[in-house]
Amino acid sequence: MTSENALGGFLRARRELIKPKDVGIATRGRRRVPGLRREELAMLAGISTDYYLRLEQGRDRNPSDQIINSLAGALMLNEEAAAYLRVLAVSPPPRRRVRRRPGRVPVGIDQLVRLHLDMPAFAHDRYMNVISANPLAEALSPCYRVGTNVLRTTFLNPEIRELYEDWERAAHSLVASVRALASPDLDDPQLTELVGDLSIRSEDFRRLWARHEVRARTSGTTHLLHPQIGPVSLNFQKLEITGTERQIIVIYHVLPGSDAAERMALLANIAATTEQSAPIGAGSPTDRQPGR
C-alpha cells in the first residue's frame, strides 16, 4: 500500500495528471514528461524548485501545513485527496502493525440488508469484502456475493467488464474510493497484500492505482448491461456503519413506476426462482479472497 516515499509517489502521480493548459501554462514543442514539470508545480505552489524536489525524492518529510495547503491547491486536489496528502505528509511514530481479523457485520445491519427485498442492498468492510447481501444484490452482480471482494472481482472476473456500460469509469471510481476508505491507515498489512496481489495480476488495476486519485462516492448512479434484464440505471446511497471499522452499507434505489423499477421487479422474480431451485454460487475462483 505504501512505500518508504509514499508522499513523493503521490506528488509525482498527481503532478503528471495535470495538463499545463489547465493551470494557464503555455507550452511549446514536444514535452518529455506528462503533466507538469517539477519547476512548474513548484512555481504554482509558491515554493522553490529545490525544496519541491526534496519533497518528491523523499529527502524532506516534514512540510509545513502552509506548504501542504499550497501543494493541494496547485495540484487541484478535492477535499478527500487533500486530506490524504496531509496524512502522507505526517511521519507517524513506528508501531507494530497488527493484521486485523475479518470484520463481522452487526446483527441488526445484517438483518436490515437481508430483509430489504425490494432493492439490492449489501455491506462491505474497509477492504471491500462483501459481508452481507440480499438475494437481489447477489443477482445483480457477482461483485455483491457474500464472501467475495468487490475490488478483486471487478478486475479479475471477466463477467464484470461486460456488466458495466462503462467499465473503465466504474473501475476508476472504485479505485479512488478505496484510497479514500483506506486513509488514514495507509500501511495496513491486509490492504497492502490485496493491492500487491492485484498489481501483479491486473495491468488495469496497476495503472489506475498508480494515479493516486482519492474520491469517496457516497451516492451516484450505476449504469449496467445486465445479461438477464438488459440495460438498467440504478441510483445508490452509501452509509458508514457506526461502531465498526469503516464498514459500509450500500443501497440501490429507483423511481417507482420507472423502466428501471420494472426491470428490477423482473430481476427480483428471477432471483426468487433461483433461490428456491438452488443456492446462488460463490462466484469464479478469481474473485474469491485467498484462503477463504
Q: For residue range 143-195, list pLDDT tens digits in order.
A: 999 999 999 999 999 999 999 999 999 999 999 999 988 876 777 888 899 99
Residue 65 has pLDDT above 70, yes or no: yes
Residue 135 in domain: yes
Higher-confidence position of 220 and 22: 220
Rounded distance between C-alpha atoms, residue 274 and residue 261, angstroms: 20
Could you tell me if 133 and 37 lie in one domain? no
According to DSSP, residue 183 is labeled: T
Q: Within a domain: residue 97?
A: no
Whether residue 184 has a cis bond before it, omega within 30° of 0: yes
**Half-sphere exposure (CA, 13 Å, Cβ side) for 267?**
28
Contact 119, 102 (CB under 8 A): no
Please indicate, yes or no, whether residues 159 and 232 belong to a single structural domain of this protein: yes
Domain count, the chain: 2
Contact between residue 205 and residue 155 where contact means Cβ atoms under 8 Å apart: yes
Is the same domain home to 190 and 71?
no
Find the helix or strand (DSSP H, E) in which 234 lies. Answer: strand 230-240
Is residue 154 within 8 A of residue 272, CB to CB? The reply is: no
Whether residues 76 and 191 fall in one domain:
no
Phi, psi of 52 (to 5 degrees): -60, -40
> Quick check: is 201 in a domain?
yes
Which spans in the chain are helix H? 6-17, 38-45, 49-56, 65-74, 79-89, 107-115, 135-140, 150-156, 158-163, 167-182, 189-201, 203-209, 259-277
Average pLDDT over residues 128-133: 95
Domain boundary among 20, 54, 89: 89
| Average pLDDT of span 55-82 | 91
Clarify whether residues 36 and 151 are in a common domain: no
SS3 232: strand
pLDDT in tens, 106-123: 899 899 898 877 899 999
**Domain of residue 82, CATH code:** 1.10.260.40
pLDDT digit string, tens, across residues 23-64: 888 877 778 778 999 999 999 999 999 999 999 998 887 899
Would residue 1 count as lying in a domain?
no
Q: Is residue 102 part of a domain?
A: no
Q: What residues pair up with 221 in beta bridges, in sequence order?
A: 235
Q: Is residue 95 in a domain?
A: no
Q: Does residue 165 belong to any structural domain of this protein?
A: yes
Residue 125 shares a structural domain with residue 206: yes
- Same-domain check for residues 113 and 76: no
> Domain range for residue 280?
107-287
Same domain as 278, residue 205: yes
Please check the confidence at residue 277 and state whether its pLDDT lies above 70: no
Cell of 207: 495503472
Q: What is the mean pLDDT of residues 81-95?
A: 78
Q: Check whether residue 118 and residue 224 sit in a common domain.
A: yes
- Do 219 and 84 lie in one domain? The reply is no
Q: Do 142 and 148 form a contact (C-beta atoms < 8 A)?
A: yes
* Residue/partner pairs of 45-49 with CB below 8 Å, 24 or more apart: 45/70, 45/71, 45/73, 45/74, 46/70, 47/71
**Residue found under cell 525524492:** 57
CATH of the domain at 250: 3.30.450.180
Flag whether 47 is in a domain. Answer: yes
Select from 89, 118, 148 the last residue of a domain: 89
Same domain? For 132 and 201 the reply is yes
Judgement on whether residues 193 and 277 belong to the same structural domain of the protein: yes
